[in-house]
Structure 1
Amino acid sequence: MQNCARIVLNNKATRIAVVSASAGVTNHLVTLAHTAMTQEQIKDICSAIKAIEMAIVNQLNEPELVQDKLDDLLDEMAGLAHHEEILHRDDLKDQLLSMGERISSLLFSAVINEMGNQAINFDVRKVLRTDSEFGAASPEPETIAALSTALLMPEANNAIVVTQGFVGADEHGKTTTLGRGGSDFTAALLAEALHAQVCEIWTDVAGVYTTDPRIAPNAHPLPELSFEEAAEMATFGAKVLHPATMEPALRGNVKVFVGSSKAPGQGGTWIMRDCEDEPPYRAITRRKEQVMVTVKTPKMMYAQGFLQQVFAIIAKHRLSVDLVTTSEISVSFTLDNPANSVAQRLNKETIAELETLCDVKVEHGFDLVTVVGNHMQSAKGVSSKIFAAVADYNLRMICFGANPHNMSFLVNEKNSTPIVQHLHKALFE
């Protein structure tokens, strides 16, 4: 937190800091929100969260200044965790999941104040208006802009505003969340709303890498990315960026910087509308926990409207489909399926409805590997080099040609690590 505070204070142009939950807290909260437990087990997890937060508070010079407010938040959290309907009500889950960020913003504003600068802890729910899709709420940019101009801008003129990522509120004032990793998204939405020039994302790595360095040790940070490349990388699994972050940045033409709060001097990656260099291969991403759904009906042959019916059901359940392949009588597509997610719940409902229309086959155990780059459709030799690198592996689905920025494969989860390593060696080393 002190590292981050120094980064904020070293740049006088920084007016708003959006914070995530402390490490480990969100995982504990997800467990509380989704797992049936005894009262004693719930109490133990609440105590573990309190210990994480108190380790920070105890290092403040004047912990008593925040202790009462922290106790109130911890009491609210415990009350929600013990609520008899927590496992069955998505609105209560979102209230509980918001607690990590709400506690972080209280503590981070105290850290900045102790460094001799004025900071205020601002409740983002006053301005970040969303719909009521708890767990994966969609923001309403026009309302956010109007509320931010009226309520947030005056505060930012007088002090550094510390607020919460990931959290919003619907029109009835009920707490909503934007999905895991949503703090970047919040920052980009507020940057767009306030016509900011730059949105800086300070994380645990020095920029966006050619691939995950834990998979390929020779991966290296990228000095620049276009919005389109970054959006593809985020969508297809680059953990450094939230998939939706690029939308408000692109709409508002807000430059995005990604750097490491542990090593701010190392530089990072700039994401902008136009890059000086547009190579055919920019990066490789992996997204785990994919489900392959194949719908099949003899009626599809020469029939009109079957695809429309299939995708109308998917749209109704608000699912995002990445890869699609079709044959004469069947369609295969991929769905994200992380455990305890909104997607997992919707997948079950969607598949049940599809089964009233046609035969449905559901296969698990896949990862999605994507090569991101530029002019991939039109540059000679681009696809052959990729296929040569993965020649020894079975590819279940291939998606290429729909846009110039990516080629994606669905692969068996046990093969995805060596596939990424082979691709990285062939394309970047």
Structure 2
Amino acid sequence: MPVQATIMKFGGTSVEDANAFRNVAAIIRSEVAARPVVVVSAIAGFTNALLASVQQAIEGDSRGATRSLIPDLDRHLTIARELLSLESRVAFEEAVASARREIRQLHKIIAAHPMTHPPLQDEILAGGELLSSHLLTTLLRESGVAARWVDARGLIKTDDNYGCAAPLPETSTATRTELTPLIEAGEIPVVGGFIASTLKGATTTLGRGGSDYSAAIIGAALDAREIQIWTDVTGVLTADPRIVANARTIPVLSYQEAAELAYFGAKVLHPKTIQPAIEKNIPVRVCNSRAPAEAGTLIVSESAAAPQTVKAIAHKTGITTVQVTSARMLGAYGFLRALFEVFDRHRVAIDVVTTSEVSVSLSLDNAAALPEVIPELQELGAVEIEENRAIISVVGEGLRHTPGIAARVFSTISTVNVAMISFGSSSVNLTFMVDEARVREAITDLHRVCFETDNEQGLAMNQPTEVTA
């Protein structure tokens, strides 16, 4: 019987400094019997710095672009000086120096030929995960753990959509071929998340936050026992703790609930993480690397509906809405297809869609391509744009079949103007749009009624949930 691995993914805040690296190493040592495969992000903030450096190079300042990375590269050296032996530290310092030289050359090429930047940007961004995974591997080996560094580009094979590449079927075989012998030999593979390569070997990345996705892809390929996402909060919370200070950990979520929360703004999971787990029915556990003894959130195929129905409230800000109005919609066919083909041609992702007899409203998370999209939409009808909007998503198993739940939600925020209500297309999700300036007020009020109220109605909406999977 093949050995089942446990995937342990650690995010950037879990490896932000020497103490964080020490903590991660201790967590991994405690889980050696679970046959871990470790996936690690770049240290906190480094990917943003790398991305900003690419933009600086595109603007022609290659020297300034490379210089801008000195503080973050020095952070790696500081961590190594505190954690590693002299011999290991010298080797890692050479790895950092080599990365600096490679990035400098790439900055020069981008500055001279800005149009070539997408593949070169991925080469530069990969440096964050390559350095952090090398550093963690060395630390583990010096701690007595049989860790083995593995280049993720040999595991995850993708198309050439640089910046947001999609995995190819060849990934499963490549991952099993590379990792299974190591796991069976009792070694612990350490892999940089977020990065991959094309079949021809060119470096690609999976999109921002893609280390979660890497962990899920590798877990699915290995038929893992469990995929663990280690972050800086205890599991998935009932709301964003930056808005609701007393947000609570949700013990259990279904795949569908977790997918909706991830897509609509819950920061602890990348939206694509859940799909590979669903396909192989692998549990996903969200853990706190700063409090490893706490249970976190378990995500499984099914979970019981909470007596209060609502399990969490997610939100996304910075949303733009587009409304297209045309009498041609009335009783016609093909209009929606033509509308969506416009967005498809410009590779613009749509979040929420609502329709009436003569208009369609859509929400966009990224409106960068709108200047090119609007003229084509105007050929279909009158176009109205609203910026600075926010999506709020109320999530819980059984929402669609709970009488009065929508009335309770909207009566709670009766002073906030609501638009683009979507309810019924998903059995676990009620989504609507508000002005961005009112999102904090709306979420605070909803959380108070759903999870904090002690009166009879509040208690009816606030009971613990149980696992049925």
TM-score category (smaller protein): over 0.9
Structure 2: how far apart are the matches of 1:352 and 1:128?
39
Matched, 1:336 2:388: no
Residues 265, 207 of structure 1: CA spacing in aligned structure 2 closer, same or farther, 3 A cutoff? same
Aligned mate of 2:315, from 267, 280, 286: 286
Structure 2, unpaired ranges of 5+: 1-20, 453-469
Cα separation, partners in 2 of 1:420 and 1:37, compared to 1, 3 Å: farther
Contact between 2:195 and 2:204, CA under 8 Å: does it hold in 1? yes
- The offset of 1:227, in angstroms, is 0.6
Distance in 2 of aligned mates of 1:87 and 1:369: 38
Residues 309-336 of structure 1 deviation map (CA, whole Å, 9 limit, x = unaligned): 1112223444332211212222110011
Amino acid across the alignment from 2:286? V
Q: Report the Cα distance in structure 1 between the residues aligned to 2:65 and 2:349, rounded to whole angstroms.
A: 33
- Within 5 Å, give how 1:111-122 maps onto structure 2: 111-122=139-150
Letter in 1 for 2:398: H
Q: What is the CA distance between 1:213 and its match in structure 2?
A: 1.3
1:73 maps to a residue whose letter is A
1:365 aligns with 2:388: yes
1:43/1:107 CA distance change after superposition, 3 Å: same
Counterpart CA distance in 1 for 2:371 and 2:202 is 26
For 2:337, what is the secondary structure of its paired residue?
helix
- Match for residue 197 of structure 1? 225
Alignment of 1:425 with 2:453, yes or no, is: no
Q: Over residues 16-56 of structure 1, what are the superposed CA-to-partner deviations in whole Å (9 max), with x where a residue is unaligned?
A: 10010101101101211234363453233121221221121
1:149 matched residue in structure 2: 176
Following TM superposition, by how much is the alpha carbon of 1:134 offset from its aligned partner in structure 2, in angstroms? Answer: 1.2
- CA RMSD in angstroms comes to 1.7
TM-score, L = length of structure 2: 0.86
Residues 232 and 406 of structure 1 are in contact (CA less than 8 Å); yes or no, is this contact kept in structure 2?
Answer: yes
SS at match of 1:200: strand
Q: Which residue number corresponds to residue 71 of structure 1?
A: 97
Residues 167-182 of structure 1 aligned to structure 2 (within 5 Å): 167-182=195-210
Which deviations, in whole Å up to 9, do the C-alpha atoms of 1:285-307 show, x marking residues without a partner? Answer: 01111110112223222222111
Distance 1:323 1:9, change over 3 A: same
Q: Which residue of 2 aligns with 1:242?
A: 270
1:81 CA displacement: 2.9
Cα 1:153/1:364, change in 2 over 3 Å: same
Q: CA deviation at 1:345?
A: 4.2
> Deviation per CA, 1:149-188, whole angstroms, max 9, x where unpaired?
1122223333211111111112222111111111111001
Question: C-alpha distance in 1, partners of 2:191/2:208?
Answer: 17
2:67 aligned to which of 21, 44, 47? 44
The amino acid across from 1:401 in the alignment is: G
Q: Distance in 2 between matches of 1:110 and 1:234?
A: 33
Once residues 417 and 338 of structure 2 are traced to their aligned partners in structure 1, the CA distance between those partners, rounded to angstroms, is: 31
Amino acid across the alignment from 1:2: R
Shift of 1:207: 0.8
**Match for residue 135 of structure 2?**
107
1:13 corresponds in structure 2 to: 34
Letter in 1 for 2:175: S
Aligned to 2:348: 319
Q: Distance in 2 between matches of 1:196 and 1:365?
A: 41
The answer to whether the 8 Å contact 2:47/2:125 transfers is: yes
CA distance in 1, matches of 2:123, 2:34: 32
- Aligned amino acid, residue 71 of structure 1: A
Shift of 1:353: 3.4
In structure 1, C-alpha distance between the alignment counterparts of 2:170 and 2:73, rounded to whole Å = 35
**Cα distance in structure 2, aligned partners of 1:85 and 1:221:** 50
When structure 1 is superposed on structure 2, of 416-425 and 394-403 the one drifting more is 394-403
1:61 aligns with 2:82: no
Among 384, 389, 398, the alignment partner of 2:412 is: 389
More moved, 404-413 vs 26-35: 26-35
Native 8 Å contact 2:53 2:66 kept in 1:
no
- In the TM superposition, what whole-angstrom CA distance separates every residue of 1:51-109 from its partner, at most 9, and x where no partner exists? 22112111112302322223212221222233325753211111111111111111110
Task: Find the residue that maps to 1:262 and give its secondary structure.
Answer: coil
Q: Percent identity?
A: 35
Which is further off, 228-237 or 31-40? 31-40
Indicate if the aligned counterparts of 2:35 and 2:183 stay in contact, CA closer than 8 A.
Answer: no
Q: Quick one: distance in 2 between partners of 1:257 and 1:82?
A: 42
Task: Check conservation: 1:369, 1:409, Cα contact below 8 A.
Answer: yes
* C-alpha contact 2:239 2:447 (8 A) present in aligned 1: yes
1:204-250 deviation per Cα after TM superposition (whole angstroms, max 9, x unaligned)? 11111001111011211111111110000000000000000000011
Shift of 1:114: 1.1
Shift in CA distance, 197/360, structure 1 to aligned 2, threshold 3 Å: same
Say if 2:421 is the partner of 1:398: yes
Which residue is 2:327 aligned to?
298
The one-letter amino acid of 2:172's match is A
- The separation in 2 between residues aligned to 1:78 and 1:14, in whole angstroms, is 38
Unaligned runs of 5+ in 1: 338-343
Is the Cα contact below 8 Å between 1:375 and 1:405 reproduced in 2?
yes
TM-score (norm. length: structure 1): 0.94
**Cα distance 1:206–1:352, how it changes in 2: closer, same or farther (>3 A)?**
same
Q: Residues 360-405 of structure 1, C-alpha deviation per residue, up to 9 Å, x if partnerless?
A: 2222111111100111111112111101111000113211111111
Number of residue pairs aligned between Structure 1 and Structure 2:
422
For residues 19-30 of structure 1, the aligned pairs below 5 Å read 19-30=40-51
Give the residue type in structure 2 aligned to 1:165: G
Determine the C-alpha separation between the residues in 2 that align with 1:347 and 1:246: 29
What letter corresponds to residue 125 of structure 1 in structure 2? R
> Deviation of residue 116 (structure 1)?
0.9
CA distance in 2, matches of 1:421, 1:387: 13
AA aligned opposite 2:30: N
Aligned counterparts, 1:133-282, within 5 A: 133-140=161-168, 142-158=169-185, 159-279=187-307, 280-282=309-311
